């Protein structure tokens, strides 16, 4: 319990929320000034996505308690893969290897959300946004938030991830997720270089293209290596060829209504 208390004192949740909110607001304003022709339409679109914060954030904060409990247990019992690796006490193993393994686990989670039909019914809410921008980052069904945090608990238990590596992961993942959903794209030459290591907005835009096989590519969270290894990597598509959304749910009236979007996973479909 002392470790939990110490963690919250040195890394309060409010600082993470401020970081998250600050980056989103800054990029949203830049998008609005540079790329948006209608502030009214952008604000209306953003408002729909922002409602998801009020359903998903309480779930996230509640489940975080259990993540921290597993961290405490793993530390006290020296349980997890990171504790049995050579030089387990080194900073390299604790943080670098820990981060890489957590990123791989996030890749697995993302693939599972696409491949398991019941889970896909909730994950497609994120993909159903017809106007991808930085606000799409928070467009997550609360049931998916719960599932995502359950997976994180499993990953932390199996790896024995420390508070430090979780904080490192959360900070880098937050920045990566927000920037990958922006309307901005890197130039082809810059993208070719950066995407050798990281998932770029260019790559993630392809993932949000409305039809297969593009929806099933570029699953990576921070690192692009997993997509390259498992052959789910697809390079940049021209902006003119990308249509955001998901082909089974292209109704704008539904996708722009928060309540209707929440109900999509529970609607009966023929397929």
The C-alpha atoms of residue 48 and residue 224 are separated, in whole angstroms, by 30
Show the tokens assigned to 178: 């927000």
Decide: 166 and 16 in contact? Cβ < 8 Å.
Answer: no
Count of alpha carbons within 13 Å of 62, Cβ hemisphere only? 10
Q: Please state the domain extents for the chain.
A: 2-266
In eight-state DSSP terms, residue 64 is H
Mean pLDDT by 10 residues, the chain (271 residues): 45 57 72 71 88 92 91 90 83 87 97 97 97 93 97 96 88 90 91 95 96 95 96 89 94 94 82 45
Q: SS3 for 31?
A: helix
The C-alpha atoms of residue 52 and residue 13 are separated, in whole angstroms, by 18
The C-alpha atoms of residue 169 and residue 171 are separated, in whole angstroms, by 6
pLDDT for 37:
64
Rg (CA), the chain: 19
pTM: 0.88
The C-alpha atoms of residue 211 and residue 67 are separated, in whole angstroms, by 35
How many other C-beta atoms lie within 10 A of the C-beta of residue 61? 12
């Amino acid at each position: 319990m002392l470790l939990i208390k110490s963690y919250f004192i040195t890394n309060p949740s409010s600082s993470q929320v401020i970081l998250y909110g600050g980056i989103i607001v800054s990029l949203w304003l830049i998008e609005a000034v540079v790329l948006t022709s209608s502030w009214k339409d952008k604000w209306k679109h953003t408002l729909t996505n922002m409602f998801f914060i009020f359903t998903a954030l309480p779930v996230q904060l509640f489940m975080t308690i259990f993540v921290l409990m597993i961290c405490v247990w793993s530390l006290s019992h020296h349980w997890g893969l990171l504790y049995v690796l050579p030089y387990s006490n080194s900073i390299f193993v604790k943080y670098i290897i820990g981060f890489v393994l957590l990123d791989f686990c996030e890749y697995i989670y993302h693939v599972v959300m696409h491949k398991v039909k019941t889970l896909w019914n909730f994950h497609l809410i994120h993909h159903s946004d017809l106007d991808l921008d930085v606000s799409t980052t928070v467009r997550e069904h609360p049931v998916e938030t719960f599932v995502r945090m359950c997976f994180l608990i499993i990953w932390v238990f199996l790896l024995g991830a420390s508070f430090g590596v979780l904080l490192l992961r959360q900070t880098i993942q937050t920045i990566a997720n927000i920037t990958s959903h922006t309307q901005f794209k890197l130039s082809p030459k810059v993208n070719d270089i950066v995407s050798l290591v990281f998932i770029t907005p260019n790559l993630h835009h392809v993932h949000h293209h409305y039809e297969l096989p593009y929806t099933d590519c570029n699953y990576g969270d921070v690192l692009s290596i997993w997509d390259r290894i498992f052959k789910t990597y697809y390079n940049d598509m021209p902006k003119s060829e990308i249509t955001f959304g998901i082909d089974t749910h292209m109704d704008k009236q539904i996708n722009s209504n928060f309540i209707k979007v929440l109900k999509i996973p529970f609607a009966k479909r023929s397929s």
